[in-house]
Each structure stands twice: as C-alpha cells, then as structure tokens.
Structure 1
C-alpha cells in the first residue's frame, strides 16, 4: 500500500509538459542538423550541384525553428527541473520513462540512418571534407541527445550541475550556428533585396521571350514594350516590383536589343562561388552580348548575372534558332 501511495500520478499538465519538451527537442535537433549541413554545403560547395535558391529557404526554416523552438525547449526543461525539486517522485513517471527510452531509440536510429545516408553520398562521389564534417555534425547532435538522456536516466538528484552545463553548451552551439547562418544568408533586408532582384530577372526573362515570340510572328522587333501587349491573352509588360517603373528596352542594329533594370545587389561571380567554378564574365559588368534564350531557368544562369545599380543585358536573336513561324 505504501509503495502504491508513493507512486506518482500522471496529471494532464505532466503529460503535455513531458511530451512538449521531447517534441521541442526533436524539432531543435533536426533544425540544428539541417542548419549545420547547409553551412557545410556553403563552405565546401559541390561542383556537381546546381543551386536554385542559394541557401536561403533551408537556412531560413532552420533558423526560424531554432529561434522559436529551442528557447521553448529550454523553458520547458527548466520548468520540469523546477517541478522535480518539489516533487522528486515525478522522475519516475511512466510517460517520462517511455519518452526517454523512445528518444534514445530515435537518436540511435538517427545516427545509424545518417551514417548510412552519408556513406552512400560519399560513395556517389561527395568530396571528403563535406562527408567528414556532415558525419561529425550528425554524430555531435544525435550523440549529444543520446548521451544527455543516458545521464538523465542514471542520475538520482532532481537537477544536477551537469544539466546546466548541457544547457549552456547546447545554447552556445545553437547560437553559433544561427550566427553562421545569418553570415551566409545575410540580414532580412539583404534577403529582401535578393528576392526583388530575382523578381526583376524573372520579369526580364518574361519580356525577352515575348520579344522573341513577336519576332517569330511578325519578323521584326517591337519598337517599344507596349507593342507586346495583347488584349486577348491579357499579357502586359511587368514593372519593377519595388519602384513600380517600366523596364528599359532599347532596339539595336539588326535583331539585337537591350533590356535594362536597376538592381539592388551584384550577382556577378555568385554562380561560381556557389558551384566552386570559374566564370567567363568580363569585368566592368555594364553589359555583355549573348544569344536570346527562351527558357526561364532555375538558379543563377550565366547570361543573367548582373552588377548592382542600372544594368543592361545585350541580346541578339539568332534567326536560325528562332525562325519566323510563317516560313
């Protein structure tokens, strides 16, 4: 009877707090691993990879998750530790034991799966530095979670000094990773400028294809962008997403033309930095010639790199590649 009377009772508060701290830990660990992997990808770019959204979306999600979820994890862990000081018997709650052992199981599986995936990536030709660092990142995070819960199962005190040490080490690692992520991604203002520039390039690609299509239909270049507008399909020339001004279009000799816009930042050399390759774009960056391209590619195409400020793209339609439709 005494043993049953001393057996801790599970309350709704205990259930949700215990479940919440484990869920927050899972999200924090996964986000930290993703952020570390993205940082490694930036430091050691793979020449076989083609980057569309340069490190932005993956790093943004990881940083956002860590900023919100990791402090929540620390808060819940602190609350549980405070509760254990008052009710030490709650350390023996069955749900707590189940969640701890389940976490140990998941952490062990995560280590094994990560190692298998990373070895498979290495065998497919991933460079050694990336392979080693990703293995270490996965082992440090998953191993840290595994080691902490093993210690938690063995300790008898409600809250030990090592709990605080773990919290400080984990907080330092997460903070350093977030700072590194911002160093790669840039500030929110920088990210906004990049998105505006990407929209400008997309608009110019759209206009360029309309010009090529106009040439194929009428065998001449439009004198101004207004001639491209069509009341049937509803196409209208897009404008600058920030300034709401029209893009500059200048007709040159023969089938050549220029498309100009004002950009916030330079992307010249960005593709080479992402891929680790040298480029062929000349210095100066005012404009350069290239045949008209009708595809809207993913990423930073060589012929859409630009300097900051006003920049013009020189284009020339090749009539053999884009012959008039009526011929």
Structure 2
C-alpha cells in the first residue's frame, strides 16, 4: 500500500512536532517542574529584597534586626518574609557585626536549571542553590 506524498509529509511533520515537544519537556521539564522553578525564583527574589532592606536598615540602626519580623515591620515597608508556597518564614540567622545568613528550602537545583536555559546572569550566580534547605552568607557592606 503506497502512501500519497501529502500524507507522508503530514506524518513526517507530526513526528517532528512530537519529537521536538518531547525534547523540550526533557530539557525544560514539564509544567510541574516549571512551577517549582518559578517558586524557587520567587524565593530568591524575596531573599534579594530582604538583603536590600538589610542594607537600608543598618545605617538607620547601626545593627542588624533581631528577626525578619522586625525588619518587615518598618514603617512604609512591604516586605515578603515567608515562603510563597508553605507560608513558613524564611530563616534568618544574625551573625557577628554585619554578617548574617538567609535560608530557604528550594525545590530545584538552580545550577541545573540555569544550565538547561543557558542563562548565566550575575543575579543567578549570586543566588545559586541546590535542592533542599540552603543558606546564603551575607554581610552588610562596610561603606554604608
């Protein structure tokens, strides 16, 4: 039984579409993986904002806040200090002088995610994390 040229072309195009879709899902992950990656990006964005507010808090008070609630309760400040999925407050561990740690639980490995997307920005490097609980060591710059 001989297939017509048009039918063969349609079958070949369909196979190519299926193959490229499967490859895209293998590289980028499915919808569930994408949702987890977006949640992790949100977490790193939240931690970045917390770091920014720490740098603004220091010059006014000459100390680190006792906890994230104290930082977030400053007048006029709207700061997210809790995980967008679980609602648990991010961990904050004040250290000596200007040093502190910010911790969150991540669902994806940002190194694998960035490699799959081939995007290596400075911010993605700064907030690179593995799967699971991870803490970032930070310090308020001394020139503030």
Q: How does the TM-score come out when normalised to structure 1?
A: 0.40
Greater share of residues in helix: 1
Give the Å deviation of 1:161: 1.2
- Give the Cα separation in 2 of the matches to 1:173 and 1:269: 26
Higher relative contact order (CA 8 A, sep 6+): 2
Equivalent residues in 2 for 1:9-20, closer than 5 Å:
none
Residue 124 of structure 2 is aligned to residue 301 of structure 1: yes
Change (3 A) 1:212 1:244: same
1:257 maps to which residue? Answer: 100
Equivalences, count: 141
How far apart are the structure 2 equivalents of 1:176 and 1:224? 51
Contact 1:229 1:237 in 2 (8 A): yes
Tell me if the contact between 1:271 and 1:300 (Cα under 8 Å) persists in the aligned partners: no
- 1:221 and 1:251 in contact (8 A); partners too: yes
Task: Determine if the alignment matches structure 1 residue 268 to structure 2 residue 106.
Answer: no
RMSD across aligned positions (CA): 2.2
Structure 1 or 2: larger strand share? 2
Residues 190 and 234 from structure 1, CA distance in 2 versus in 1: closer, same or farther, beyond 3 angstroms? same
Larger Rg, first or second structure (1 or 2):
1
Residues 155-234 of structure 1: pairs in structure 2 closer than 5 A: 161-230=4-73, 232-234=75-77
Displacement of 1:229 after TM fit? 2.6
Output the CA distance in 2 between the equivalents of 1:299 and 1:179: 31
Ranges of 4+ aligned residues in structure 1 off by more than 4 Å: 269-273
Can you give the 5+ residue segments of structure 1 that lack an aligned partner in the other structure? 1-159, 278-297
